[in-house]
Amino acid sequence: MGPQRKVRNVDPILTKHVREPNSFTLDFYLQHEGYSALKTALTKKPDELIEMVKASGLRGRGGAGFPTGMKWQFVDKKMSPRYIACNADESEPGTFKDHLLMERNPHLLIEGCAIGCYAIGAKVAYIYIRGEFLHVQTVLERAIDEAYARGFLGRNILGSGFDCDVYMHRGAGAYEAGEETALLESLEGKRAQPRNKPPFPAVVGLYNKPTAVNNVETLCNVPIIVAKGAEWFAALGPEKNGGPKLYCVSGHVKKPGVYEASMNVTLRELIEGYAGGVPEGRKLKAVIPGGSSVPILMPDQLDTQASFDGIQKAGSLLGSAAIIVLDDTTCMVWLAENLLHFYRHESCGKCTPCREGTDWIYKILRRIERGEGQTRDLDLLQSISANIAGKTLCAFGDAAVTPVTTTLKHFRHEYEAHIREKRCTLHAGWRARQPVGAH
Amino acid sequence: MSFHPKMAYDATFHRSARELEEEGPPFAYTATNRARFDEIVKRYPEDRRRSAVLPALYLVQSQQGYITANAIRHVAELLGITRADVEDVVSFYTMFYTKPVGKFVVQVCRTLSCALNGAERVTEELAAKLGIEPGQTDTSGTFTLLEVECLGACDRAPVVMVNDAWHERLKPEDASKLVDDLRTKGESALSGCHLVAERTKR
């Protein structure tokens, strides 16, 4: 991301100071009213805080958009200990917002963890960070040490009698660890494979204890709600889609990066305004609005409001707000092949339809892309997709077939051209000069 | 579900075809690593030491570069779990190596946003320069080339990770120079994550 650009529909809140050199230090954070929300929170009753988060309408920023206040309310308060597991796995292709927050504003996350723990009555929060983010982990560990040293974490925080520990836990390269129950399995020292739901983590979570699993950006919004009030937060953005939102724009745009806006913003403003539009001389072909797992939107849908509900109405999902922009040099069969390579590799192997099916789909797509496909392969793709979606423990199965079903829906003619011409007809400069073999 | 008649079953395509770890030399943590291990274990409830298996394996890897059967035994004993439990984890996560790797493990992100910005060609150039295919280590044991899935730096595509450090916006035409620079300057040849670079520059 380049220098912070002027945000048009709201002043940045989450990323206000990210361009300043010392924004990651505790001293800087304290100069900018850091940890004052924690002080306020500790004067309230935990239930009041949960009500406040509910009233703010904060929805989970990890992908599902589930109301955070509800999630916290569901945490079984009769069982203890309880835990917060912060999901910093950030591995949905196209997503890089939490990286920025953790790297440049780590104390906001720590404050969010502490308030969250107080609200649900937990004493420990684990931040599960993906293994590839070692440099980010270093920043967070330093910030955690600073917070302990100044009494914002540890025993008897700010004289309130509330104890809270925050620990880092490093993953080791597994997309599936971003799924909430798989994350808990991984945290318990096992393979990152999902559990059956229900019971949900709020009742049976980490070590079989009630656990709230929250995304980094979600927890970062909590101190803001406490500081500015639930009404202020809810009013920022359309109804039921309140609060500041980070958008990750990447792919074929001039200025890829993280942009903060309220959810009043449209896809067109994000792509053509904030991110500078597609490179000169190229035309927009399609947009993936919420990470690789969601259906694509077409250029005539650019004026869709980029909110959870707006995108859903347009037939896709906001997901993790990872907007991947595709211009007219993109072959859609290649795109599906690229993403299925990802899903085939990342399938955790627990459910047969997903483990076997992603492999079959990938092989068929590779065959079509190389010009060795047959017309009946298209029906086969549909059939395999239908037999994976909804037939797995977690949402991975649905996610994995989406690139196939959505490209078949909008760009069936490209598949047919590959089969007819026996080759890929779009050879863009950014593609490999010869087909890259399977590895 | 009907199996496609032309789809040959290709065992090498499956993860289940992996080989067992080699026995390796006898393994025990160095005193420093043992102290770090003891520190890490404290983060988890006493009866949940198993939670420390990922950090424990990272320590093994930092000590001897890759994970052997003897190291698995050591970790299993320290955590009070079976060797199979540890092996289960080692074989699942992509960041654990069960074979010696090069001094520089060059991992090119191949997922969509990087691919849209030329990652396929970066891999091609690196493979040509090093004379190896992705997944292989060169004969001198200096470089291992790998293709990996999304690294979470899509705004700085194409991105490569060398050992634990990032190099952002690697153009295909600069790939060969990066290899030369790594040989002469080591990891300081890498751009690092731009956020880190901004922080340390000032």
Domains annotated for chain A, with CATH where assigned, are 26-235 (3.40.50.11540), 244-327 (3.10.20.600), 332-421 (1.20.1440.230)
Q: What is the DSSP secondary structure assignment for residue B51, as one 8-state letter? A: G
Contact B149 A100 (CB under 8 A): no
Q: How close B161 comes to chain A (CA, Å)?
A: 8
- Could you tell me which residues come within 8 angstroms of residue A167 by beta carbon, excluding any fewer than 6 positions away? A124, A125, A126, A127, A144, B43
> Chain B: nearest CA to A55, how far in angstroms?
32
Question: How far does A86 lie from chain B, in Å, by closest CA?
Answer: 15
Q: In this predicted structure, what is the pLDDT of residue B122?
A: 97
Average model confidence (pLDDT) across chain B: 90
pLDDT tens-digit readout, B78-91: 999 999 999 999 99
A167–B43 CB contact, under 8 Å: yes
Checking if the pLDDT of A292 tops 80, the result is yes
Q: How confident is the model at residue A25 (pLDDT cuts 50, 70, 90)?
A: very high
**A249 contact residues in B (CB cutoff 8 A):** 155
Cβ contact (<8 Å) for B152 and A96? Answer: yes
Q: What is the CATH number of domain B104-201?
A: 3.40.30.10
| Inter-chain residue contact A383 with B133, CB threshold 8 Å | no
Chain A, chain B: beta-carbon pairs less than 8 Å apart = 189
| Cα A168 from Cα B130, distance rounded (Å) | 37
Q: CB distance A335–B112 less than 8 Å?
A: yes
Q: Which residues of B touch A24 (CB under 8 A)?
A: 199
pLDDT, tens digit, 9 for 90 and up, residues B187-202: 999 999 988 877 665 4
Q: Centre a 10 Å sphere on the Cβ of residue B173 and count the other Cβ atoms it contains.
A: 11
Strand order from edge to edge, sheet including B143-148: B143-148, B104-109, B160-162, B165-167
Q: What is the pLDDT of residues A151-179, one digit of tens each?
A: 999 999 999 999 999 999 999 999 999 99
Q: Is A305 in a helix, a strand, or coil?
A: strand
Of the listed ranges A4-13, A191-200, A383-392, B100-109, the least confidently predicted one is: A4-13
| Chain B residues with beta carbon closer than 8 angstroms to that of A432 | 120-121, 123-124
Q: What is the pLDDT of residues A352-383, one digit of tens each?
A: 999 999 999 999 999 999 999 999 999 999 99
3-class DSSP state of A97: helix
How far is Cα B150 from Cα A94, in angstroms, rounded to an integer?
A: 8
List the one residue out of A84, A71, A110 whose CA is nearest residue A223: A110
Instruction: Give dist(CA A34, CA B194) in Å, integer.
Output: 25
Q: What does each C-alpha distance from B131 to A375, B107, B163 come to in angstroms?
A: 38, 16, 20
CA dist A82 and A76 (Å) reads: 8
Q: What is the CATH number of domain B12-92?
A: 1.10.10.1590
How far off is chain B from A310, nearest CA to CA, in Å? Answer: 24
Determine, for residues B153 and A207 on separate chains, whether the beta-carbon distance falls below 8 Å: no
With 80 as the cut, is the pLDDT of residue B144 above it?
yes
Report ipTM for this prediction. 0.93
Pair B148, B161: CB distance under 8 Å: yes
Asked if B92's CB is within 8 angstroms of A192's CB, the reply is yes
Contact list, B118 vs chain A (CB under 8 Å): 430
Q: What is the pLDDT of residues A256-288, one digit of tens each?
A: 999 999 999 999 999 999 999 999 999 999 999
Residue B194's CB is within 10 A of a number of other CB atoms, namely: 17
Beta-carbon separation of B154 and A100 below 8 A: no
Q: What's the pLDDT at B202?
A: 45
pLDDT at A415 over 90: yes
Residues 6+ apart with CB under 8 A from A79: A209, A210
Q: Are A102 and A139 in contact, with CB atoms under 8 Å apart?
A: yes
Nearest to A436 among B92, B120, B135 (CB): B120
Q: Full-prediction pTM beyond 0.90? A: yes
Q: For residue A198, say if its preceding peptide bond is cis, omega within 30 degrees of 0.
A: yes
Contacts of A137 in chain B (CB under 8 A): none
Residue of A nearest to B1 (CA): A384
Give chain A's count of helices (H) and strands (E): 16, 8
What are the residue ranges spanned by the domains of chain B?
Answer: 12-92, 104-201
Which has the closest alpha carbon to A1: A249, A267, A258?
A: A258
Task: Note whether A327 and A283 are within 8 A (CB).
Answer: yes
pLDDT at A428: 85
Written as one string, the DSSP assignment of A5-45 is PPPSSS--STTTTTTSTTTTSHHHHHHTTTTHHHHHHHTS-
What are the b/e assignments for B126-143, b being 16+ CB within 10 Å?
A: bbebbebebebbeeeeeb
C-beta of residue B33 within 8 angstroms of C-beta of residue B58: no
pLDDT in tens, B100-125: 999 999 999 999 999 999 999 999 99
Measured between CA atoms, how close is A103 to chain B, in angstroms? Answer: 7
For residue B5, the chain A residues in CB contact (below 8 A) are none
- From chain A, the residues in CB contact with B113 under 8 A are 93-94, 250-251, 256, 324
Q: Where are the alpha helices (DSSP H) in A43-163?
A: 46-56, 68-74, 97-104, 106-120, 134-149
* Selected residue of A96, A130, A259 to mutate for chain B interface (largest B Cβ count, 10 A): A96
Can you give the pLDDT at residue A285? 97
**Residue B196 to residue A103, Cβ atoms within 8 A:** yes
Residue B200: closest CA among chain A residues belongs to which residue?
A21
